[in-house]
């Protein structure tokens, strides 16, 4: 299983990063990481877009879901049927968030291994025959930040980007917190919990700032993607379902 993971994820990502470092980023590791992140997100854009769109729609459907649960609280079969009809009407998959996590986690682990292992003669032996090894390796980003070490500015920037990305994904509401459904409350809490977890994960685990730069770039990409999603679903009528 370990060899399969290496060949399918770790080695291709490692080679892609070295190629970008050698030929497109002016030997700046930070720029190479940004390019690699954007390429990954573009390749997986249809999956990420569908998953993020479904989660956004589900959050906006939270009042209807709460209404169905209330109307059919004594009949679980009718409740399930009504929920499935609601999902079908709006063409959403309630498990898309979980699938999105399954997609992201192996990639994040592989990239973490790439950045943590570094670029020694041993790791460079994983290069494909058509990619040449760098004669020297510059761990800096724009000549300022050493990406092999933790950096508080990268961590804070990643946390802020995570905040805005989550805030864009959660629908605005004027209702008091106590009147929100469980899903709505979770969404509101994640606006603040997500950035806190990002900062804790990146800083207190003493991760190299290369991981933080990846997280920052993917959060900015996700925020732009969320703006597009929000514009596209403005015309959806969430009150069209009747029970």
pLDDT band for position 124 (50/70/90)?
confident
Mean pLDDT value across the chain: 84
Report pLDDT digits (tens) over 144-188.
Answer: 999 988 899 999 999 999 999 988 887 777 767 666 667 667 777
CA distance 51 to 191: 18
Domain ranges of the chain: 2-232
Report pLDDT digits (tens) over 130-156.
Answer: 998 888 888 889 989 999 888 999 999
Residue 242, pLDDT score:
42
Model pTM score: 0.81
pLDDT band for position 36 (50/70/90)?
very high
The answer, yes or no, to whether residue 241 has pLDDT greater than 60, is no
Residue 75, pLDDT score:
84
């Amino acid at each position: 299983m370990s060899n399969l993971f290496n060949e399918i994820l770790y080695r291709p990502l490692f080679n892609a990063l070295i190629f970008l470092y050698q030929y497109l980023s002016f030997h700046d590791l930070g720029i190479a990481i940004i390019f690699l992140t954007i390429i990954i997100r573009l390749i997986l854009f249809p999956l990420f877009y569908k998953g993020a769109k479904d989660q956004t729609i589900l959050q906006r459907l939270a009042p209807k879901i709460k209404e169905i649960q209330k109307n059919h609280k004594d009949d679980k079969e009718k409740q399930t049927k009504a929920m499935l009809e609601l999902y079908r009407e709006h063409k959403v998959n309630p498990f898309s968030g979980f699938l999105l996590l399954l997609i992201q986690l192996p990639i994040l682990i592989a990239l973490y291994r790439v950045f943590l292992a570094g670029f020694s003669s041993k790791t460079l032996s994983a290069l494909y025959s058509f990619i040449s090894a760098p004669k020297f390796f510059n761990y800096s980003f724009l000549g300022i930040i050493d990406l092999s070490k933790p950096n508080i500015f990268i961590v804070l920037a990643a946390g802020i980007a995570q905040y805005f990305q989550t805030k864009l994904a959660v629908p605005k509401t004027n209702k008091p917190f106590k009147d929100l459904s469980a899903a709505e409350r979770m969404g509101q809490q994640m606006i603040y919990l997500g950035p806190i977890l990002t900062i804790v994960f990146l800083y207190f685990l003493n991760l190299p700032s290369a991981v933080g730069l990846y997280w920052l770039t993917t959060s900015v990409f996700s925020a732009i993607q969320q703006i597009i999603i929000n514009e596209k679903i403005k015309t959806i009528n969430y009150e069209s379902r009747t029970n």
